[in-house]
Amino acid sequence: MAYRVAVEGIDGAGKETACRHAAKALSTGRKVAKIGRPVSIFEECREAVLYEDITNVVEGAREFSYESSIPGLSKVAEALHILTQAGIERDVLSTHSPDLLIAKRDMVLCPAVYAPLPDIPVNTKLQAFNAIRPGGFPEIIVYLDVEPAAADARITRRVAGGAFRQPHENPADLEILRGRYMEALPLVKEYGVEIIEIDTTPLTAEEVGSRVTEEVAKRI
C-alpha cells in the first residue's frame, strides 16, 4: 500500500515545485506518483506523464469559468476539478501501485478551506468531504505557510510568464484563505494526520523542494 503525502498551502506557497522535486528525488529504488499538473510516475528519476488530456481539459474549463459571466460556472468547474483529482488519485493507486504518492493538495482539506460556504463550520466541511472521498486523509500533510504579500509576488511572476491568475489570487483573499488553514489544520490533526509546517516566505523554490523532500524522506 502506498504511503500518501499531501502538500498544502495557499496559492503561491510553492506546492507544485515542491511536489515535483520530492517525487523525483525520492524515486530512487521506489515508484513515486505525483498528483498535480502534470500527473506523473517517477522511477529512478525518470518521469512518465499520465492523464495529460483530461487534466488539460479540466484546467481549461477552470480558466474559462473564471473569465465567463455565467453565474455559478466557476463553482461547477471547481467541483469538477476536485472530483477529477480524487478520481485520478484513486486510479493511480489501483492501476500503478506506487510505493509513495505525493499530491498537490488534499481533496478533503483543500475544498474545506476553499469552498465558498462561509456559514458552514470548517469541521463540518471536513467531515463531509472525508466521508465521500475513498481512502480518507493521507498519512502526512505538509503545510507550506507563506505571507500573502510574498505569495502574491510569486503569482505575479508566474502570470508574467503566461500563467492564469485566479480571482482569489490577491493579498486580501489569500490572507482569508491562510486564516482558514490555521483554523482547519488543528482539526485535521484530530483525524490522526501528521501535520508538518514549513514557512516558505524566505525560501527559494529549490529550498522549499529540498525541505519537503527531507521531511518526507524521514518518514518513509
pLDDT digits (tens, 9 = 90+) for 167-179: 899 999 999 999 9
Residue 13 — very low, low, confident or very high, per pLDDT cuts 50/70/90? very high
Confidence (pLDDT) at 17? 94
- As given in the structure block, the three cell numbers for residue 59 are 484546467
> Which range is least confidently modeled, 134-138, 182-186, 195-199?
134-138
CB-based contact 102:7 (threshold 8 Å):
yes
The mean pLDDT of 75-104, rounded to a whole number, is 90
Confidence (pLDDT) at 75? 78
Confidence (pLDDT) at 40? 98
| H runs (alpha helix) in the chain | 15-25, 52-67, 73-96, 109-114, 122-132, 148-160, 171-189, 205-217
> Is the pLDDT assigned to residue 72 strictly greater than 90?
no
Strand bridging mode 3-8 / 140-145: parallel
> Is the pLDDT assigned to residue 134 strictly greater than 80?
no
Confidence (pLDDT) at 215? 98
pTM of the predicted model as reported, rounded to 2 decimal places: 0.93
Strand bridging mode 39-43 / 31-35: antiparallel
Confidence (pLDDT) at 76? 84
Confidence (pLDDT) at 28? 97
Confidence (pLDDT) at 26? 98
> Is the pLDDT assigned to residue 69 strictly greater than 90?
no
- As given in the structure block, the three cell numbers for residue 172 are 486580501
Q: What is the CA radius of gyration of the chain?
A: 16
Residue 1 — very low, low, confident or very high, per pLDDT cuts 50/70/90? confident
Confidence (pLDDT) at 164? 86
The mean pLDDT of 165-193, rounded to a whole number, is 95
Confidence (pLDDT) at 174? 97
Q: What residue ranges define each of the domains in the chain, with the CATH number in brackets?
A: 3-217 (3.40.50.300)
CB-based contact 105:15 (threshold 8 Å):
yes
How many alpha carbons lie under 13 Å from residue 220 in its C-beta half-sphere?
Answer: 27
Measured over the CA atoms of residue 144, residue 63, residue 60 and residue 54, the dihedral's sign is positive
Tell me which residue of 187, 81, 42 sits closest to 127, measured CA to CA.
Answer: 187
What is the spatial distance between Cα 11 and Cα 177, in angstroms, rounded to a whole number?
9
> Is the pLDDT assigned to residue 118 strictly greater than 80?
no
* pLDDT mean across residues, the chain: 93
